[in-house]
Amino acid sequence: MTLPRLGVNIDHVATLRQARGGREPDPIWAAVLAELAGAEGITIHLREDRRHIQDRDLTLLKETVTTRLNLEHSIDPAIVAIAIGARPDQVTLVPERRAELTTEGGLDVVGQGDRVAEAVKRLVDAGLEVSLFIDPSPRQIEAAASLGVTAVELHTGRYADAEPGPARKAEFEALVTCGAAVVAAGMALHAGHGLNYINVGPVAAIAGMAELNIGHSIVSRSIFVGFEAAVREMRAKMERASASR
Ligand code: PXP
């Protein structure tokens, strides 16, 4: 039984900094504290509109992160070039719409096959590990596997948003079934989006789960309990869930 890695998404520390356009809070501080509290990775999303994470953050985090730096970005060729230059430990390709509040759905690997394939090829040729953020759908998993990526991150947003009861159970079952398909296809299984201290347990205990990327709930709790405590509590929830599997 393996415990999934916790990748702490620090985008919203940068959101708070950008609210005043100043220097604090600095996401670099958050990354250091997350690692001290046991995070096995730091995740950032360099959006085309630079609404939170800035190019300077990417450069500094590449220098300072001692675990794994996971850079999320779109398939836009200019951003792909930045990722190749920055050389993070992993890139996760995500869909991006300027008007969205947050990443709303998974990448459409079936519908946008050629554009996704081109971005993946450039990244893989540059020697980078590539993960694709997709909805829990067998067709999307099949398409992802055909591109030869290292990992797939299943979008847990529908599970997180579903009412407790049959609706959430159905969304959870979809994650379990699709998780097994990801592992059977030889890809690493990751998950994220909307995970919090209450709903993380079952997802952490899915067979083969290798990495969870969690941001909003940790940053929200950190305001009240501090960043290290918020990361430690999430880590403890994941450990308990994996141990009870
Ligand atoms: N994984 C991916 C691919 C994401 O785009 C996001 C949101 O930026 C997350 C995980 C983290 O989601 P949340 O902030 O809801 O925990």
CATH topology of domain 5-243: TIM Barrel (3.20.20)
Distance 155 CA to ligand 1 centre (A): 8
pLDDT(167) > 70:
yes
Distances (CA, A) of 43 to 68, 71, 141, 245: 8, 6, 22, 26
Tell me, yes or no, if 72 is annotated catalytic: yes
| pLDDT above 70: residue 103 | no
CA 148, 153, 159 angle in degrees (round to 5)?
A: 145
Q: What pLDDT, on a 0 to 100 scale, did the predictor assign at position 190?
A: 98
Which residues on adjacent β-strands are paired with residue 6? 212
Copy the structure tokens of residue 192: 């994220």
Residues touching ligand 1 (Cβ under 6 Å) are 9, 11, 45, 72, 92, 94, 102-103, 133, 153, 192-195, 213-217
Q: Any idea where the domains of the chain sit in the sequence?
A: 5-243
Q: Report the distance separating Cα 106 and Cα 108, nearest Å.
A: 6
Per-residue pLDDT of 79-90, as tens digits, reads 999 999 999 999
**Quick one: which atom of ligand 1 is closest to the CA of 133?**
3
Q: Name the average pLDDT for the chain.
A: 95
**pLDDT of residue 131 exceeding 70:** yes
Instruction: Give residue 105's pLDDT.
Output: 85
Confidence class for position 244, pLDDT limits 50, 70, 90 = confident
Residue 25 has pLDDT above 70, yes or no: yes
Give the residue-averaged pLDDT of 176-196. 98
Calculate how far, in angstroms, residue 104's C-alpha sits from the geometric centre of ligand 1: 10
Mean pLDDT of 197-222: 98
Quote the DSSP letter at residue 192: E
